[in-house]
Structure 1
């Protein structure tokens, strides 16, 4: 499982100009079962996405495809973790520590 932290690198006006494309990108990845939760940070200087993917390389590739990244308005910090305990609704994503 991964936590993706977005940090804006441009003024909010530039971020908002790309927001519709970013939301369409999010929607596609939710439909594919990659993204589990997402939202903006407070204060609004970026966002957070909880996601699943085969491996870190694949997750980094997905993040690089974000319209925000392609437009140069944000950077990603990708953190991988082993979800050994979850809420019942996320039980399918539980992993065992090795």
Structure 2
């Protein structure tokens, strides 16, 4: 499993230009359960995603298709981890 942080590298005006395409991209990945959660950082300097377990190379290829990355307005930072303790109802994430 992965935690991905997104850091904007352009002004919010420029980021906003690509927000609809980025939102559609996120919705597709969440529908496919490749991403489990996505949201904005506070303050709004980027975002955070929680990604399902997959080969790191597959995740890299997937993140490269982010409209923010394709249009040069954000970068990603990835941390891989294995959930060992989870809340009730999230047992399916354990050991991913």
- Identify the residue that residue 69 of structure 2 maps to in structure 1: 69
Q: RMSD between aligned alpha carbons?
A: 1.2
Structure 1 residues not aligned, in runs of 5+: none
Residue 75 of structure 2 corresponds to residue 78 of structure 1: no
- TM-score of the aligned structures, taking structure 1 as reference length: 0.92
Offset at residue 85 of structure 1 (A)? 1.2
Structure 2 residues not aligned, in runs of 5+: none
- Identify the residue that residue 39 of structure 2 maps to in structure 1: 39
- Is residue 60–residue 78 contact of structure 1 (8 Å, CA) maintained in 2? no
Offset at residue 74 of structure 1 (A)? 0.2
- Identify the residue that residue 52 of structure 1 maps to in structure 2: 52
- Is residue 34–residue 52 contact of structure 1 (8 Å, CA) maintained in 2? yes
Offset at residue 76 of structure 1 (A)? 0.2
Q: CA–CA distance in 1 between the matches of 2:93 and 2:39?
A: 20
- TM-score of the aligned structures, taking structure 2 as reference length: 0.94
